[in-house]
Amino acid sequence: MNPLSRLITLSDTEKQEHGLVHTPAEIAQQPATWQTTYRLFAEAKSSLAEFLRPGREGQWTIYLVGAGTSDYVGQALSNLLRQRWGCEVRAVASTDLLTNRDDLLLDGRRYLWISFSRSGDSPEGVAVLEQALASCPNVRHLVVSCNASGKMVELARQSKEAFAIVLDDAVNDRSLAMTSSFTNMLVFGQALAHLWEPDHYEETLAHMAVAANHMLDAGSHLAYELAGKGHRQACFVGAGGLRSAAQESALKLLELTSGRVLTMSETTLGLRHGPMSALNMQTIFTSYVSTGEKRQKYDLDLLREIRAKEVVRTIVAVGVVDSASDHSLHCAAFEHIDDAYRPAVDILFGQMLGLFSSIELGLKPDSPSPKGVISRVVQKFNIYS
């Protein structure tokens, strides 16, 4: 039995005592829940196609909107949607839209904002949607959430200019850190990119599930082992769509250890431009190595440089087996998954490293912020119009 499965088989009393009621199960359930999300997409496909028909002709500028982890959903999807829909697509954080909306909108242009939110109740997400519905007639909205009773879903259902999608309640994570909600909103967005050719995605999703189950097994052994070695710093890198996996991995490890493990993320080529100076022998260095031939060469060159300079203690390569790494997470299914679809698979390692590091530090993964500095839903703050 792998370390993740062992946590799931603990007694209810042990789970309550150690703050493990939700997080391990929410991580483990992800490949199975992706199929549920895809079925939900298939059921809504006709209605979505009608609402989004102008996007098929490339008539919209699309903003992918979210905060924190939900922003990384948009960043993971932006290149895929741009290529599939043939229009300009940008990930724009709701935290930026709330403060800088006038700088980010152009008169005379039509927009679609696709908002991602686990709770649908984050102050920024609600405020951005309310203000845009009231004063931006050139913007339409698709809200993707995991909470049927969230304020954003309610607002979308009340407007003819908006459409709401609610994912299965099982992926509305009860733990503080977003895990199932992140990958399932991402899977929905990937399916959406194939709205007019969904069968092409179904085969990719099958390969993703195979790779994810391998990650949950082999990756949990590795994450457990590394968490026990007392690293106090971690760096994650990736290029293209895998940059978002690096960003989200850094956030998960930071959140789940309440900042006791310092984390950073960068692009493969960006690391050399200063951030490499922060690496040291307390650092776990993880590279999400591209499936694409060109990007993979850059990724592997960086691994070999890091190894040659001897600046970190541990190097992990995800997606490939390479002699420059100390540990590799890879199976044949990775070869059938383009980088644009890999973040949902690769992030599993970052989630599990966060989980086991949290346990090692004596924290409770379901609520790892002992003083309540951060919470499951960002606390309300003043909103200015």
Q: What is the DSSP string of 354-377?
A: HHHHHHHTT--TTS--TT-SS-SS
- Which of 197, 225, 249 is the endpoint of a domain? 197
The pLDDT mean for the chain works out to 94
The verdict on residue 317 lying in a domain is: yes
Distance CA 142, CA 157 (A): 10
- Which of 197, 220, 252 is the endpoint of a domain? 197
Share of the chain above pLDDT 90, in %: 89
The verdict on residue 368 lying in a domain is: no
* Three-class secondary structure of residue 237 per DSSP: strand
Q: Is residue 41 domain-shared with residue 54, that is, in the same domain? A: yes
- Residue 127: CATH number of its domain: 3.40.50.10490
Q: Is residue 103 domain-shared with residue 191, that is, in the same domain? A: yes
Q: Is residue 192 domain-shared with residue 49, that is, in the same domain? A: yes
pLDDT at position 251: 97
| Helices and strands (H and E) in the chain: how many | 15, 10
Amino acid at 323: S
- Which of 151, 171, 197 is the endpoint of a domain? 197
CA-wise closest residue to 249 among 260, 241, 237, 239: 237
Q: Is residue 276 domain-shared with residue 335, that is, in the same domain? A: yes
* Domain count within the chain: 2
* Residues 208 and 345 sit within 8 Å (Cβ to Cβ): yes
CA-wise closest residue to 176 among 374, 380, 379: 374
DSSP letters spanning 242-306: HHHHHHHHHHHHHHHTTTSSEEEEE-TTGGGTTGGGG--TTEEEEEE--SSHHHHHHHHHHHHHH
The verdict on residue 375 lying in a domain is: no
Q: Name the band, by pLDDT with cuts 50, 70 and 90, for residue 188.
A: very high
Q: Is residue 82 domain-shared with residue 149, that is, in the same domain? A: yes
pLDDT at position 375: 67
Domain that holds residue 308: 202-360
Q: Name the band, by pLDDT with cuts 50, 70 and 90, for residue 75.
A: very high
Q: Is residue 347 domain-shared with residue 321, that is, in the same domain? A: yes
The verdict on residue 16 lying in a domain is: no
Q: Is residue 46 domain-shared with residue 188, that is, in the same domain? A: yes
Provide the residue count of the chain: 385
Q: Is residue 211 domain-shared with residue 193, that is, in the same domain? A: no
* Residues 316 and 325 sit within 8 Å (Cβ to Cβ): yes
Span 277-285, mean pLDDT?
A: 97
β-partners of residue 112 are 62, 140
The verdict on residue 246 lying in a domain is: yes
Q: Is residue 295 domain-shared with residue 308, that is, in the same domain? A: yes
pTM comes to: 0.95
End-to-end CA distance of the chain: 54
Q: Is residue 209 domain-shared with residue 266, that is, in the same domain? A: yes
Structure letter (DSSP) for residue 175:
S
Q: Is residue 254 domain-shared with residue 223, that is, in the same domain? A: yes
Q: Is residue 216 domain-shared with residue 346, that is, in the same domain? A: yes
Distance CA 45, CA 51 (A): 10
The verdict on residue 347 lying in a domain is: yes
